[in-house]
Amino acid sequence: MRMRSRVLRDIKAREAVVSQELKRTVWRYLSRNTAMDPRVRMQAQLALSRTPREASPSAIKNRCIATGRGRGIFNQWKLCRFQFRLRALNGDLPGVDKASW
């Protein structure tokens, strides 16, 4: 199965977030610390704004690992609702049964 470009873009964004996480946390702390010198706070804010846009945690979008669909994702299985249903009916997901009452 071939990888879709949106899935690859999301993987790249997740890697960027992980690589920049510590720096962003430090800069965010310095810029919000009111006990610090205003000049240091401003420099931290500028450094935070200079980080790549992909390194922002809000750039991450949950996508289906099977189809790349961006809506209706079950976080625990990382599948969209349709793929979840197909795999559950086939018995590919352990512990998931069709409800009947």
Task: Write the pLDDT tens digit of every residue in 33-86.
Answer: 999 899 999 999 999 999 888 888 887 888 888 888 889 999 899 899 999 999
Alpha-carbon distance of 32 to 43, in angstroms, equals 12
Domains along the chain with CATH numbers: 1-61 (1.10.287.1480), 63-96 (4.10.830.10)
Hunting for tokens 């946390």 — which residue is that?
A: 25
pTM above 0.75, yes or no: no
42 token code pair: 């401003």
Query: Any idea what the Cα angle at residue 60 is, between residues 59 and 64, rounded to 5°?
Result: 140
Hunting for tokens 């809000």 — which residue is that?
A: 58
3 state SS for 38-95 = HHHHHHHHHHHHCCCHHHCHHHCCCCCCCCCCCCCEECCCCEEHHHHHHHHHHCCCCC
